[in-house]
A = this chain, B = another copy of it.
Amino acid sequence: MKPHQLVLLAASCCSVLLASVAMAMQASPPKEASPIYGVTLPDGYRQWQLIAPAQEGAPLNELRAVLGNRTAIKAYQSGAQPFPDGTVLVKLAWKHEQSPEFESASIPGDATTVQVMVKDAKKYASTGGWGYGRFVRGKPADEAQHKTCFACHEARAKARDYVFTRYAP
């Protein structure tokens, strides 16, 4: 191989490498973490198993579904509490919308929030072992909103390891 061929080869390798790096950066933009807790949206949560749906009346008027990672599902199935470290629960919420096909049915409209609870008994010792994240279109809500998470879970669900959602059979 002649010198100018080597240069061409090196240049072509470099551009392939740079293109790969650019694609990788595009595929996984840096995730924004919630204030106070540093919780991010977990990878692939939309594929997680359903724990239960729910409906929220006025003024929010939402349909919701809580999904859990494998650790969460195992904990629900065994009934063991508190939930072990590594448990992650994700609540998806959508506007409650009239079905176009059925007068009596309501279906998900626009997505509103995605809310995350992550169990880490040491890291989140001061908030019952749970870290919280509330996201709107992938962006975390502000610190003021995150200050309300633990207060409400503590007031209403402390006896159930701060978790509202029961597994739907």
Residues of A that sit less than 8 Å from B by CB: 46-47, 49-50, 52-58, 60, 63-65, 67, 92, 94, 96, 99, 101-102, 104-108, 111, 156-157, 164-166, 168-169
Task: Give chain B nearest CB distance to A148 CB in angstroms.
Answer: 14
A52 contacts which chain B residues (CB < 8 A)?
A: 107-108
Assess the A105–B57 pair: CB atoms within 8 A: yes
Give which listed residue, B56, B60, B106, contacts A54 with CB less than 8 A: B106
Bound state CA distance, A70 and B2, in angstroms? 53
Give which listed residue, B55, B65, B165, B166, contacts A106 with CB less than 8 A: B55
Bound state CA distance, A5 and B50, in angstroms? 54
Give which listed residue, B53, B57, B166, contacts A53 with CB less than 8 A: B53
The 5 closest A-B pairs by CB, nearest first: A53-B53, A108-B168, A55-B106, A57-B104, A101-B156
A67 with B96: in contact, given A106-B57, A164-B101 (CB under 8 Å)? no
Task: Give chain B nearest CB distance to A72 CB in angstroms.
Answer: 13
Assess the A164–B99 pair: CB atoms within 8 A: yes
A156 contacts which chain B residues (CB < 8 A)?
A: 101-102
Task: Give chain B nearest CB distance to A76 CB in angstroms.
Answer: 11
Give which listed residue, B50, B55, B102, B107, contacts A105 with CB less than 8 A: B55
Give which listed residue, B53, B60, B94, B107, contacts A63 with CB less than 8 A: B53
Residue of B nearest to A107 (CB): B54
Assess the B102–A168 pair: CB atoms within 8 A: no
A164 contacts which chain B residues (CB < 8 A)?
A: 99, 101-102
A108 contacts which chain B residues (CB < 8 A)?
A: 52-54, 166, 168-169
A46, A65, A102, A108, most chain B CB atoms within 10 A: A108
